[in-house]
Amino acid sequence: MPIQPGDTLPDIELQVMGEKGPEKVRTSELFAGKKAVLFAVPGAFTPTCSAAHLPGFVVNADKLRAKGVDSIVCTSVNDAFVMDAWGKSQNAEEITMLADGLGEFARAVDLTQDRTANGMGIRSQRYAMIVNNGTVELLNIDAQGLDQTSAETILAAL
């Protein structure tokens, strides 16, 4: 069963790109004491993710912050180099691009999907969460499209 509102995010070690290369970061530290929006995409540089999902959060970052969001985090089952390149290509300086290269976080929150038929392996489902001090307050999942996980939908929920 997927993680639910009221649950604490699992403490998983993932990566972000630092000045000298990939750096380890624990989810417990990343979300401690902060109100955050965490959204996941099936893959960096993929059509819907690049054309709409990430750009929506880039465009609405100031509005999200005005509603009390301390950090906006995007995760995908990609490595830190890919997440960093994708973030730069999307002008996502205000978004933490969190690499879940082995899919450990996606599995821990039970939000994976099997894309092996498309040559992509096990990926994250498309979801968006509002997280307060490590506790999930809202979880929206989209099987298709962005109706539930867009920046606009999350903004309206804050």
Residue found under tokens 């401690």: 32
Contact 114, 31 (CB under 8 A): no
Q: 21-26 and 13-18: which strand pairing?
A: antiparallel
d(C-alpha 68, C-alpha 47), whole Å: 30
CA torsion 27-33-36-39 (nearest 10°) is: 10
Positions marked catalytic: 49
Residue 18, classed as helix, strand or coil, is strand
Which residues does 78 contact at the CB level (< 8 Å), separation at least 6? 43, 44, 86, 99, 100, 101
Residue 104, classed as helix, strand or coil, is helix
